[in-house]
Amino acid sequence: MVDIAFSFSAASLATSSGLQNLYDLLIIRGALKSLLLNSRTSARKGMKQHIGIALFAPKSWRLQMPWSAPKGFWCSLSGAMDPAPPSPPRPAAGLRVPGVVAKPAARPELPRETVAFLGLGALGTPMATNLLAAGFPLTVHNRNRQREEPLAALGARRAATPWEAATGSSLLCLCLSDDAAVRAVLLEGPDSASGGLAPGSLVIDFSTIAPASSEELAARLRERGVSYLDAPVTGGTEGAKAGTLSVLVGGSERDLKRARPLLEVVGARVSHFGPVGAGQRVKAVNQVLVAGSYVAVAEALALGQRFGLPMEQVCEALMDGAAGSWALRHRSANMLAGRFPLGFRLALHHKDLQIALEAAAATGLELPLSARVAAIEAELMAAGHGDEDVSALARWFAPQLEPPRRTRWLGAGRSGAAPGHLSAQGPASAAAARRGARAWLRPGPRGGPAGGAGFRGDRPRPQR
């Protein structure tokens, strides 16, 4: 057995030296990884689990209790190693390995960009909180000004308008609900953020919007000497709080290099896919996958319940097999219990799915399964469930909500949408929702130059 132990002072985490403490943790992780590479696979797996706890516990503790801290924090890890242990790694500051004297490590100067963050919703608030904890000077603004207060209590500066937030900030982060909100906050009106941005500033847009909108925004900002990255994220509120989001980036390599220190605070994986708009296209692919996986879990659970199976046991048995998925592992319990605490709003996923359907139609591709999920989401939104988690798709299969067996043709939801594209605001969708329609929809005739699919309910839905 080899015991690995380290200690570090947690008292300074509430001060401006938080970045140096973070740097210590990164060095510690690297030294521990060197040891693990020489261990057996079984020992490596067991030790990684404990190391993850040791490295992330201080961070989560710091965010929960920024007002006080013990003078020190001690963690010890142990695991079985190979009989012939490797030569000791070069230790870093704060790391104590038996028989090795640690030497202080030089700490490079980390970037100190001034950051403004606009949009403090379910994702934006924890993302901004993590930036504060990492030591970034932060200014925040939200349309509902009360949402600024918790961040102000942690040290953020509040701004009355987007213009005021952007003034003096070298990086502007957006995490807003849709295309119209991004355009209004960034470009429209005397208080728009672009009016306060100096040439050489960089906009990092975490919002999920249409690829064409990202390209338009980038072009208009370029005229002002301002750069733009589209950087939609995936991972839900859990990932936003833990700083483990996946960030999907479109833009130039130079701008990404500048933004990377910030992006690596909010996300565990930062992936670059090409020019502006590429990140939004990858996010569209992601939302199609989410649509299929969530509705598949909801449908499978409904089937198992009709069979009278012990569904908790069924889910546990299937999680690690071919049917396993993030949705099954993290959302099946809530679906079975009929509880849908917010991870990602169903209404926002519906909006994102509309973006994917329109982008697919522009290429001549039909997405019949995604269009079907969009129809179900539109009905649930009309019934008042739009602010629940996407897992509320399971409500559609609830036995007490028996629908009519037929419904009329459901056409495009809004101007410019692909045929068969349902919108909660569209007249056909609203009429169907008012009737409580749950049609058994199937692909209809192709329509429009893009070759999109229409959907009609001329097949009776089987009785339950």
What is the DSSP secondary structure assignment for residue 209, as one 8-state letter? -
**Separation of alpha carbons 295 and 313, rounded Å:** 20
Map tokens 């008042």 to a residue: 384
What is the DSSP secondary structure assignment for residue 39, as one 8-state letter? S
Nearest to 379 by CA among 366, 395, 367: 395
In degrees, rounded to 5, the angle at the alpha carbon of residue 457 between the alpha carbons of residues 452 and 461 is 130
Residue 210 Cα to chain centre, angstroms: 17
283 is catalytic: yes
3-state secondary structure of 7: strand
What is the DSSP secondary structure assignment for residue 247, as one 8-state letter? E
Nearest to 135 by CA among 269, 265, 267: 265
**Separation of alpha carbons 51 and 420, rounded Å:** 50
Map tokens 């008292």 to a residue: 11
Catalytic pick from 71, 241, 257, 283? 283
Distances in Å between the alpha carbon of 342 and those of 104, 237, 353, 429? 44, 8, 18, 24
26 φ/ψ angles, rounded to the nearest 5 degrees: -65, -40
Q: Is 110 left (phi over 0), alpha (psi -120 to 50) or beta?
A: beta
398 contact partners, CB below 8 Å, separation of at least 6:
338
Catalytic residues: 283
